Chain A
């Protein structure tokens, strides 16, 4: 699918009344995050990078989102969402153990760490993890399905779509304060919203 909003970049509005100071501050800070971590070792980091690239691909012709860095910030801070499934450890520990298990599962099945698998094999393994059809002896603390449902998906997907490049790619209006919107009807948009490229 080609980008439906090729001439739209939500960051163009950064200095308009659509963004307030606080928004500029937090989005700037997020976009400047780098892939450094004191919580993960090199192998875990490599696994996470590969996982993120398969799970949340970058939109074409957009500045790539620093999704790994955003996920790392959450892992390093051990930042809870306010709930976790009984039996699962807290965020940081859960990620460390889960990433180790993914790596091990890959080695067990394919003789290679997850980070070194080709795209097709990596995706197939992720489907195995998603469906919980993994090796019980590798996944001792929690099941791969639990890890997938309660940690991987919410953490990685929400990190990815917290980046302005993804907002632009989906034609989302982006930050909107103090200026909101006037035209609310179907097929109507304000001058500061994305124009959708229609067929032809």
Chain B
């Protein structure tokens, strides 16, 4: 009985993570694709998909199940849209003058961003799997691997874009310090099959950092010429407001996976 409670809690946390990640995708792709003038009709897809995936995962996080067919379809579509987005972004950069030079990785369609859409689908599916039944010993490792991959990708993206900003504020190193430590610690727990308090603390810090990051980005926008009064420019030209909570979503999902690991017994 206790085990199934844990499974439910884990499912809920993973759905909450998916919902937060989806919200970040919704707002970020909305802004970025608005900047890109929606020149390809496909650019509305991540917005539309996340607009459906977010409420779905919110409901899951509250323990209620959507119609199973719909849920599966949404998770699947999210992953496919994310993969397709990655393909489109890759192709677009290849076609830019200068191709895959750093300048285009800095300023053109971000390669990492569509990954968050894929992850939203995967985490949603994972949450649903846990709703349905008892996890196999392999499940925790598989779901853990997904969140670790997500964290690593997000760290890479933050690293690239913070390098573009020349780390002008020392706080810009934080996403390159805290989430990698959390990922490492989490990966170790997964490998050993035992949760540690350190990992929980680091994942908690990563989740918090996602929110603090948005606050920092809001400050960054204010530092641009005209500040928030010039929001039509600065919300696009300044640091992306909705991007950092990706960390929050992934860290919460990872905390959910942590619940599936057997508790360490004292004096073992």
Contact = CB atoms under 8 A, between A and B. Distances in A.
Interface of A: 17, 177-183, 188-192
13 contacts: A178-B229, A178-B230, A179-B230, A179-B233, A180-B233, A181-B233, A182-B35, A182-B233, A182-B236, A183-B35, A189-B37, A190-B232, A192-B232
Interface string B226-243: 100110110011000000
Q: Which 9 A-B pairs give the minimum distances between C-beta atoms?
A: A178-B226, A17-B230, A178-B225, A182-B236, A179-B230, A179-B233, A178-B230, A182-B237, A17-B226
A176 B226 CA distance: 11
Interface of B: 35, 37, 39, 225-226, 229-230, 232-233, 236-237
B225 A177 contact: yes
B33 to A, nearest CB: 12
A190 B35 CA distance: 8
B109 to A, nearest CB: 11
A188 to B, nearest CB: 6
Nearest to A187: B39
Contacts of B230: 17, 178-179
Nearest to B225: A178
A138 B229 CA distance: 59
Contacts, number: 31
Contacts of A180: 225, 233
Nearest to A188: B37
A179 B232 contact: yes
Contacts of A179: 225-226, 230, 232-233
A56 B37 CA distance: 36
Contacts of A182: 35, 233, 236-237
A178 B236 CA distance: 15
Contacts of A181: 233
Contacts of B232: 17, 179, 190-192
Contacts of B37: 183, 188-189
B167 to A, nearest CB: 23
Q: Which of B39, B226, B236: most chain A CB closer than 10 A?
A: B226
A180 B237 CA distance: 10
